[in-house]
């Protein structure tokens, strides 16, 4: 009997208490960098090397974002020749809580496409931009101790009028933990947790559900490294003729670690000695964003925000500072002016003879 109880206790701790926490998969220190090569895939998921580009991510900071303590990762992409020179223009937000990894779903990367759909008048009673903005939230997409069953992250039904006909659709975001897999990368071998994430669109005809479209995003997460591989296969879609939509192709994307992005020794040893103003992050933002800048010499420093018409919105810095690196937060909620709305704003740094202005986008 004692042996049975001991065995049960061991199984319990192996299955629950010993289960790795999501935080063990995320880098522990800010400054961690990921370098990826991204290769488009055709409808048959064959790579197209001639169209390959590169992506760099940087674990910038930990701060509160939309109700959770977020690991903020800055990201940029571009050709190999310029990727090191480009500023970070976008942000990713992750949170680890127990055995779950959360990711913040934002529409900012797809908003130009959504706006084009609305402008084209695809649906007379429906705004694609408003609908997908309503879905922006934190989702526990990476459930490290989940079984092999599919889990629903969100499900929302809506009616869309196309032409003069109304259609009922279901939008669904689901996840599934796949069998752990060891993969070989240019930086070594990783024993990864593997997940399949899918956006599904279905047509509802009474109690009957017709599946129309499902994206497939397979992600590999390594201890201490987070996402080290991400593959979205290409698809040929030909089952939307019921809605009058002709067949079309959705290209895929293969994202893998690379050692092709190399920082020269000269760049590594260079100590910044000049004044500079950095791009704010996140950008676009709502309601807060961070602005970094460097001061080469002690002196009086001014950092102000202006609207698109050149009107001063607020002053973020107005004092004498020592030489060094600084970062300030711009919080729209703390601005007394009531007319702060979505749009383009400018921030200007002035220090001695140095002056530089950059733009940022507020999306409410």
What's the structural domain count of the chain? 2
Does residue 268 carry a pLDDT above 70? no
Task: State the residue range of the domain holding 279.
Answer: 271-362
CATH number of the domain at 284, please: 2.60.40.1930
More confident residue, 265 or 64: 64
State mean pLDDT over 276-304: 90
Does residue 305 carry a pLDDT above 90? yes
CATH number of the domain at 179, please: 2.40.360
pLDDT tier at 358 (50, 70, 90 boundaries)? very high
Does residue 54 carry a pLDDT above 90? yes
Does residue 114 carry a pLDDT above 80? no
Residue 232 within any structural domain of the chain: yes
Strand-strand pairing, 188-205 and 208-214 = antiparallel
d(CA 155, CA 333): 31
Residue 263 within any structural domain of the chain: no
- Residues 281-316, buried b or exposed e (16+ Cβ, 10 A)? bbbbbbebbbbebbbeeeeebebbbbbeeeeebbeb
Q: Is residue 24 located within the same domain as residue 56?
A: yes
Inter-residue contact 323 to 276 (CB < 8 Å): no
Inter-residue contact 93 to 71 (CB < 8 Å): yes
- Nearest Cα neighbor of 354 from 291, 303, 316, 309 is 303
More confident residue, 339 or 14: 339
- Nearest Cα neighbor of 340 from 319, 360, 356 is 360
> What was the pLDDT predicted at 272?
46
State mean pLDDT over 151-160: 92
Q: Is residue 83 located within the same domain as residue 134?
A: yes
- Best-predicted range by mean pLDDT (189-203, 312-326, 329-343): 189-203
Q: Is residue 305 located within the same domain as residue 278?
A: yes
What tokens appear for 59 in the block?
Answer: 């674990």
> What was the pLDDT predicted at 267?
42
- pTM beyond 0.75: no
Q: Is residue 43 located within the same domain as residue 172?
A: yes
d(CA 319, CA 317): 6
Residue 307 is given by DSSP the state -
Q: Is residue 116 located within the same domain as residue 195?
A: yes
Which tens digit of pLDDT belongs to each residue from 7-50?
A: 443 333 334 444 579 999 999 988 899 999 999 999 889 999 99
Question: What's the length of the chain?
Answer: 364
Which tens digit of pLDDT belongs to each residue from 160-188?
A: 887 778 889 899 999 999 999 999 999 89
d(CA 306, CA 265): 39
Q: What is the mean pLDDT of the chain?
A: 85
Q: Is residue 207 located within the same domain as residue 166?
A: yes
Q: Is residue 45 located within the same domain as residue 180?
A: yes
Residue 147 within any structural domain of the chain: yes
> What was the pLDDT predicted at 167?
85
Does residue 248 carry a pLDDT above 50? yes
pLDDT tier at 195 (50, 70, 90 boundaries)? very high
């Amino acid at each position: 009997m004692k042996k049975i109880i001991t065995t049960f206790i061991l199984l319990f701790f192996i299955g629950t208490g010993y289960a790795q926490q999501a935080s063990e998969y995320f880098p522990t220190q800010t400054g961690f960098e990921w370098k990826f090569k991204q290769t488009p895939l055709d409808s048959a998921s064959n790579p197209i090397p001639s169209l390959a580009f590169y992506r760099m991510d940087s674990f910038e900071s930990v701060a509160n974002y939309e109700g959770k303590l977020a690991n903020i990762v800055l990201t940029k992409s571009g050709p190999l020749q310029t990727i090191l020179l480009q500023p970070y223009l976008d942000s990713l937000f992750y949170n680890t809580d127990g055995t779950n990894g959360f990711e913040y779903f934002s529409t900012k990367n797809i908003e130009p496409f959504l706006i084009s759909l609305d402008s084209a008048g695809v649906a007379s009673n429906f705004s694609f931009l408003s609908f997908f903005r309503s879905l922006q939230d934190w989702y526990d997409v990476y459930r490290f101790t989940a079984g092999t069953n599919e889990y629903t992250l969100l499900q929302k039904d809506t009616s869309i009028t196309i032409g003069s006909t109304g259609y009922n659709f279901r939008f669904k975001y689901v996840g599934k933990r796949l069998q752990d897999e060891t993969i070989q990368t240019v930086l070594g071998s990783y024993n990864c947790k593997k997940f399949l994430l899918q956006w599904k669109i279905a047509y509802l005809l009474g109690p009957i559900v017709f599946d129309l479209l499902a994206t497939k995003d397979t992600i590999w997460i390594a201890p201490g490294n987070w996402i080290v591989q991400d593959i979205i296969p290409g698809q040929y879609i030909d089952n939307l003729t019921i809605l009058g939509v002709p067949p079309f192709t959705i290209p895929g994307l293969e994202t893998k670690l690379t050692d092709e992005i190399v920082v020269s020794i000269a760049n590594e040893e260079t100590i910044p000695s000049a004044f500079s103003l950095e791009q704010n992050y996140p950008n676009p933002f709502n309601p807060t964003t961070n602005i970094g800048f460097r001061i080469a010499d002690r002196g009086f420093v001014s950092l102000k925000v202006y609207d698109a018409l050149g009107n001063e919105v607020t002053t973020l810095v107005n004092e004498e500072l020592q030489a060094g690196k600084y970062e300030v937060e711009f919080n729209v909620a703390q601005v007394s002016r009531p007319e702060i709305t979505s749009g383009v704003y400018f921030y200007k740094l002035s220090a001695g003879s140095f002056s530089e202005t950059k733009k940022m986008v507020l999306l409410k």
